[in-house]
Structure 1
Amino acid sequence: ARWVRWRLTGLAAATAVLLLARCWTMKGLPVFMPHLNPAAGAGDAWTRTRTYNYVYALNAALLVLPYKLCYDWSMGSIPLVHEWADWRNLASLLLLLLLVGGASFCVSSRHPLGARQALAMTLGLVILPFLPASNLFFPVGFMLAERVLYLPSMGVCLLIGAHTSQVFSKRAASQVKARSSAGAAADRAEPRARLRSVAQMALPAALGVLIGVGALRTVSRNRDWQSGLRLCEADVRVNPGNAKLHASLADEYVKLGRFGEAEAWFSSALVLQPDHHETWYNFASLLDDLRRLPEAEEGYRRCIALRPDYTRARNNLGVLLASQGRVRESLEHYYAALQARPDLPNERVLNNLGIALLELGQHKQAEEAYNQACARWPVVDHSLEVCNGEEKFLGKRDPVSQQRLGGTSHHTRDRDMVTSAQSMSTRRLCRVV
């Protein structure tokens, strides 16, 4: 049994080292928004405990039978377990009994040593890789994630394989014993041997059914991944309470130019999660592109109220105000964006600030903003677009920028939604990255 202890110790040590290395690389533990993992933000400790235990049971169920698959299990995908009377506590209790039974089997001397060692190794492969995502040591940014089950699934496969091998070995041994028996004793043992043989064949048959169902489920799930729209539609049916999925589906409709459906799904996402700033931002961006400016302005302001340091929303609100001639109001949001996140390049915000200052006749401040924008912008084609305002102001545009830009300067706002959905407007406006 020493080699099993060494292997389990090595597995635990490797898990700890990888966890520490991840924290060191990221310079600390990751920080997540509370809405991504509602259980972590639950005020009642018992509610957190009950919910986490139920999530563990769901993970175990997905390992054995992945009947419900979804690429995002955050937000309202799994309602909190507030009461002990909730039937979901039965699933948690069943998992606890299975784990206690497995641990008892491993330490009991009544069972063969090889079987105990195999079970100990498989339980270690299931449990130890899962610990970093278990919320036991620190909260994670999801309620459940199928990707964290890849390594634990190895333990489940080994467990099923070892148990199936043991069943076949016992069946072969019982057949040899039955053939070596003779006389009346053999006759009396024959019915019991047949019954035992049928029972021993039940597990391989069940295993075959499980493999077949898993193969069919794989084919079905692969079809969902053929397009972003199909994936979002399938996952919204699995987790209708997840506002993030509603917003992602809206983004897919934006890509396809189906703006009415996109607006409906953004609205439903905000009904489910009215405090999700990214949804407000994406919805406002859609309304902005549709030239529904009062509604877009309200959306940007709601986003900023939820997250004041969100530079995308502040920049885009400034662009919107500037397009309506409210240049002095736009300055407030450009300055606020620069102050909120000084760690970001903010080159487009600086470009917009320079244009606004130039329109107000503040040439010295405009030149300073343009200089900062050009210094921070990467040396690629669109750098000339940002520096264009400075060149026009200074009256010394070079021939290359003359050819590429045609002598126009413009406010810029981010063209991409938070979820990387492509914007559908062709106006010469782009938004902060």
Structure 2
Amino acid sequence: MMELNNNISKPTKRCRNNWKVRFKQCNISAVIGIPVAAAIVCYVNCLEGDFLHDDLFAIKSNRDARGDSSLSQVFYNDFWGKAMTDKTSHKSYRPITVLTFRWNYYISDGNPYAFHVTNVFLHAVMTGLLVYTCMDIFLLQNRVCLMAGILFAVHPIHTEAVSGIVGRADILAGIFFLISFILHIKSLDIRWQKSSVLFPEVQSAGLLCGSLVSTGVAMLCKEQGITVLGMSALYDILVCSRPGLVRILEGRKLCDGCVSLTKRMGLLCSVGVCFLVFRVWMMNGQMPFFQYQDNPASFSPHLLTRCLTYSYLWMYNGLLLLFPSTLCYDWQVGSIPLVESIFDPRNLATISFFFMLALLIWHWWKHFDSQSSSDVLLTSLLLLVLPFLPASNILFRVGFVLAERVLYIPSTGYCILISLGVHHLLERFPTRKTHIFTTSALLILVLVGKTWNQNYTWISRESLFRSGVKILPHNAKVHYNYANYLKDKGSLAAATDHYQVAVNLYPDNPSAHNNLGTLLSNKSQAEYHFRQALALCEDHKGAHVNLGSLLFNRGERELGVSLLQRALEIDPSYKEAFVALAGMMVETQNWNEADRLFQSAMSNNPMSAQVYHNYGTFLHRRGEETRALEFYQRALEVDPGHIISIVDTARCLKNQGRLVQAEHKLKQALKMEKDDATLDMLGVVYFEMGRSREAIILYEDVLKDRPNNTNLLFHYSQVLAKNLEFEKSEAALLQAVRLSPNSIEILTQMSKILGQQARHKEALTYLDHAITVALRTNDKQALMDLFLQHGDHNKDMQQYSAAIKSFNEALKLGGNSPNVHLNLGALNHILGNYTEAKHHYLLVLSMDPNHTIAKDNLQKLEHLLSQERSHL
């Protein structure tokens, strides 16, 4: 609506007010929207990350998170899928978080991308809630709210919580922490904000109940969430009810209106006690079990060491918020050495930290009796300290030295505190606004860069574990984790080195000893490390299996079997023990017992692709290839990415002549991992399909990068020989012979290629070497085949007596076949040994009465014998 005055248009007062309202609304939207957008943009590069570290146990291996257990079971198990009553349970009860994992798994079929998207979205929600809290509850200026929100959105300390999927527990707890706090304050009479009442009263019981429900949800997301009760109570007393509290302190007596505050505090305390009782009941009255390496300070027998170290760790957490330059996914033993003396120079940093904290508290107390910005200072300190208490070791022992994720909620107080400091600088030095704004912007850009870079650390196992070794080289756990990755990757020498470093840094880690033992070629050293692992942890089931397998293979079979049986007593569902014990039964030809063990393993581990695959391998060894294929496919139903099952499925399909399907499976496996054996098998499939040229191209391409792979060289030479490219085939085999001079298979193939070129003398040289190797290993089947080929070469060279000798050697080794007797018959026939020749022809016909060649040769022989008799 407009008015005209002297032909000049002017807005009315109502219009001007509407414009101001719209501008204010737009301003508020920007104050919330910019930090939320920053929270999303800053973590875009983490979306392609995989399941890493704790994600593998909390999600990939957790039936509750995968949706393989009943929905009700989620509320009886811990965060890792173990029953809360189990003595080995971690006692971390977070069913709401697990339910969100279950939902993610359901909608994405286990794709980590959806999990990461959810984490980033929740971080953005948390950022928006923080800004809203600053604006609507703490009544801070817009620029303070904006900076606090942006600082929280981009702070690198949050990468573990946001980029690491299991960090969702902290984000969800933070969201419901703020919701609970907001609802508690909103439930009160708003007149307290104008100091018109001494003690505000509850105006909305519904909002107060909502606050308590949100507290319960926060606690069921992560235990840290319960601290919001303390936050709400202290804020209610020290800020909302400050006028009444000041009146009480001045008059030294209670005043009217404090009853409502007392009731609220009684309610919060009662609810808090109920929550704690419930939590202890869920834990079955047991505290979680931690080891020395998890939190060395808490195991120190000296009170001074515990106090000094804990104090230093609190300071170090504050330092990480202030200077997040050194970030690591795991801070265990060796990361931060114990502070064992009052003369340790690190105590100066601790004293400085507590001195600054004392100054802030003194500043608040100095202005306690008047409403001022000191309220925000108190709020910041409460947010910084209270949510950190469960991780401080004050209330109970925790299972870590330091964990960046636990600073997710406390960092809200830090961000508000820093933003408030910048605001005061702007007010005190108005002429330096440009410099202050520029410095603040540069600070935020540096934090963005650090967060963006840190996100890449959480993309893969390799990047995560490699960063740990680089950042904390004295941390035994990061070397152990990196060694596990290298072992899985196949870099066994590097893995051995890092396991050795882990053992040197922390000799009391049984798993490091056990895993190191599995990689050592020296069996005596391996046995030492397995026994050391059992000395450190007598119930270490992996060490029982490994030591048992070593002793079994060494000939101490009864002792080996007993160790594996002990592993199953420790953990009746331990699949590795089942599989290893079944393998021992196979070695002793106890097929029925092996089958029973595999059946038990599958029954106890119905979602283990490894168990199904191993049973398939067992069936394949027994010659039941069709059933083997069935169990390989069952393994793939459980884990479609189980590469070894894909490859073995392809092998079965190839053996059954289903070459097109085999090719499809091998290409599927190669998309996941470029493995030499898989590439080799694909080349063989091409060869058997008659696509020799494709096979040759594949082998030549692979051999450029892997020129010393004997299997590839061997099959490459076979394809070349089939294509009559004898020169290239021989060159490939010569390289293979240099690499594996005692390989019977390679020596035999060389003799065949030379034989195809009528170079029988050279061929016999390789066969003689192969026979020497086979005699040394007492491989009767190989010897029989070699003597047969030896006889063929001598026969082609017309060395008939030598050929007869070779065929007779084959006959002694079990080569009682029509072909051997036919050769012996023909050779004796040529040499004039007619009686011997007739004997062998008759043996051929006894085995195969319709053998045409034997009949013809026998007829010719009878004709010769009749001629001899007629001459006589």
**TM-score, normalised via structure 1 length:** 0.73
Instruction: State the Cα distance separating 1:322 from its structure 2 match.
Output: 2.6
Q: Which residue pairs with 2:502 in the alignment?
A: 269
Distance 1:262 1:389 in 2: 27
Query: Is 1:66 equivalent to 2:332 in the alignment?
Result: no
Q: How does 1:255-294 map to 2 (within 5 A)?
A: 255-287=488-520, 291-294=521-524
Q: Which residue pairs with 1:401 in the alignment?
A: 627
Q: Which residue pairs with 1:47 in the alignment?
A: 305
Which residue type is aligned with residue 231 of structure 1?
L
Which residue type is aligned with residue 565 of structure 2?
Y
Instruction: State the Cα distance separating 1:198 from its structure 2 match.
Output: 5.0
Match of 1:8 among 223, 235, 242: 235
Distance 1:16 1:72 in 2: 33
Instruction: State the Cα distance separating 1:274 from its structure 2 match.
Output: 0.8
Match of 2:374 among 96, 116, 121: 116
Instruction: State the Cα distance separating 1:349 from its structure 2 match.
Output: 2.6
Q: Which residue pairs with 1:410 in the alignment?
A: none
Cα deviation, 1:203-255, whole Å, max 9, x if unaligned, reads: 55543343232223223323433443333333323222111111222233334
Instruction: Give secondary structure in 1 for the equivalent of 2:328.
Output: coil
Instruction: Give secondary structure in 2 for the equivalent of 1:40.
Output: helix
Question: Contact 2:384 / 2:413 at 8 angstroms: preserved in 1?
Answer: yes
Q: 1:398 to 1:252 in 2, by over 3 A?
A: closer
Q: How does 1:354-393 map to 2 (within 5 A)?
A: 356=584, 372-373=600-601, 375-378=603-606
Instruction: Give secondary structure in 2 for the equivalent of 1:240.
Output: coil
Q: Which residue pairs with 1:301 in the alignment?
A: 531
Instruction: State the Cα distance separating 1:126 from its structure 2 match.
Output: 0.6
* Structure with the greater alpha carbon radius of gyration: 2
Q: Which residue pairs with 2:476 in the alignment?
A: 243
Instruction: State the Cα distance separating 1:25 from its structure 2 match.
Output: 4.4
Distance 1:386 1:300 in 2: 24
Q: Which residue pairs with 1:317 in the alignment?
A: 547
Higher helix share: 2
Tell which deviates more after alignment, 237-246 or 317-326.
317-326
Instruction: Give secondary structure in 2 for the equivalent of 1:114.
Output: coil
Instruction: Give secondary structure in 2 for the equivalent of 1:229.
Output: helix
Question: Contact 1:373 / 1:387 at 8 angstroms: preserved in 2?
Answer: no
Which residue type is aligned with residue 507 of structure 2?
P
Q: 1:205 to 1:389 in 2, by over 3 A?
A: closer
Q: 1:425 to 1:259 in 2, by over 3 A?
A: farther
Match of 1:330 among 560, 573, 582: 560
Question: Contact 1:280 / 1:303 at 8 angstroms: preserved in 2?
Answer: yes
Which residue type is aligned with residue 72 of structure 1?
D
Q: Which residue pairs with 2:314 in the alignment?
A: 56
Q: 1:35 to 1:20 in 2, by over 3 A?
A: farther
Distance 2:442 2:435 in 1: 11
Q: 1:205 to 1:93 in 2, by over 3 A?
A: farther
Query: Is 1:151 equivalent to 2:409 in the alignment?
Result: yes
Cα deviation, 1:298-352, whole Å, max 9, x if unaligned, reads: 32222112111111221222223333333112122012213334xx413553454
Distance 1:223 1:365 in 2: 49
Tell which deviates more after alignment, 214-223 or 348-357.
348-357
Q: 1:236 to 1:17 in 2, by over 3 A?
A: farther
Match of 1:84 among 314, 321, 342: 342
Q: 1:17 to 1:106 in 2, by over 3 A?
A: farther
Q: Paired residues, what number?
A: 378
Distance 2:618 2:592 in 1: 11
Unmatched segments (≥5 aa) in structure 1: 172-195, 407-414, 416-421, 427-433
Unmatched segments (≥5 aa) in structure 2: 1-191, 193-198, 201-230, 237-263, 633-641, 643-672, 678-872
Q: Which residue pairs with 1:34 in the alignment?
A: 292
Which residue type is aligned with residue 320 of structure 1?
L
Question: Contact 2:579 / 2:611 at 8 angstroms: preserved in 1?
Answer: no
Instruction: State the Cα distance separating 1:370 from its structure 2 match.
Output: 6.4
Query: Is 1:164 equivalent to 2:422 in the alignment?
Result: yes
Match of 1:142 among 400, 412, 418: 400
Question: Contact 1:76 / 1:243 at 8 angstroms: preserved in 2?
Answer: yes
Instruction: Give secondary structure in 1 for the equivalent of 2:299.
Output: coil
Question: Contact 1:254 / 1:262 at 8 angstroms: preserved in 2?
Answer: yes
Tell which deviates more after alignment, 271-280 or 6-15.
6-15
Tell which deviates more after alignment, 206-215 or 133-142.
206-215
Which residue type is aligned with residue 133 of structure 1?
A
Instruction: Give secondary structure in 1 for the equivalent of 2:373.
Output: helix
Cα deviation, 1:48-76, whole Å, max 9, x if unaligned, reads: 10011011111001111101111111101
Q: 1:42 to 1:401 in 2, by over 3 A?
A: same
Distance 1:381 1:52 in 2: 44
Query: Is 1:96 equivalent to 2:323 in the alignment?
Result: no
Q: 1:387 to 1:238 in 2, by over 3 A?
A: closer
Instruction: Give secondary structure in 1 for the equivalent of 2:298.
Output: coil
Q: 1:223 to 1:5 in 2, by over 3 A?
A: closer
**TM-score, normalised via structure 2 length:** 0.39
